[in-house]
Amino acid sequence: MKNAVYVLLGLVLLGAMSSCESKDPAILKVFVRSSSNQLMSGAKVVVIGDQQSNPPTGAFVDTSYTNTSGFTAVDMDQYFDLSGPDNTTGYFDIVVKHNNKIGTGYTRCRVHTTAVETIFLPN
């Protein structure tokens, strides 16, 4: 009787552990720096899905502004939720505007991970 309880408890525990999956969010952090390496607050950051990439990234556009620490965090789960469970990677263009200066970048984001990019604005 005791052995049956232990076996049943072990099977329940094994089933619970194998059904767990990562719930970490997909985040893109973009740091914006001036040409003199100063972090820039209030810069407009536009993230655009690169539909010409291989494999192609679905349509996606999100706009945010850097905080007083000079970065913004874009929630990429909104892209991965729409793109389906088989799509675990996306490629994105980044356009940064601050005053009359524009900087660009490119990044790859994966589901359940944080990608970090730094964009430098020209002189």
**Does any domain span residue 83?**
yes
- Per-residue pLDDT tens for 21-54? 558 999 999 999 999 999 999 999 999 999 999 8
Instruction: Report yes or no on 115 lying in a domain.
Output: yes
Question: What are the E-state strand segments in the chain?
Answer: 27-33, 44-49, 61-65, 71-75, 89-98, 101-110, 114-120
Domain that holds residue 59: 24-120
Question: Within a domain: residue 39?
Answer: yes
Sequence-distant (≥ 6) Cβ neighbours of residue 21 within 8 angstroms: none
Domain harbouring 30, CATH code: 2.60.40.1120
What confidence tier does 83 reach under pLDDT thresholds 50, 70, 90? confident
Mean pLDDT score across all residues of the chain: 88
Residue 86 counted as domain residue: yes
Percent of the chain with pLDDT over 90: 72
pLDDT for 93-107, tens place per residue? 999 999 999 999 999
- The neighbour count for residue 1, using CB atoms within 10 Å, is 5
- Averaged pLDDT, 4-16: 58
Q: Is the pLDDT of residue 77 over 90?
A: yes
Question: Do residues 48 and 63 touch, judged by C-beta distance below 8 A?
Answer: no
- Predicted confidence band of residue 64 (pLDDT cuts 50, 70, 90): very high
For residue 15, tell me if it sits in a domain: no
For residues 73 and 13, the model is more confident at 73
Number of domain units in the chain: 1
Residue 19 located in a structural domain: no
Does the residue 107 lie in any domain?
yes
Note the pLDDT of residue 56.
87
Q: Is residue 29 part of a domain?
A: yes
Query: What does the pLDDT read at residue 75?
Result: 96
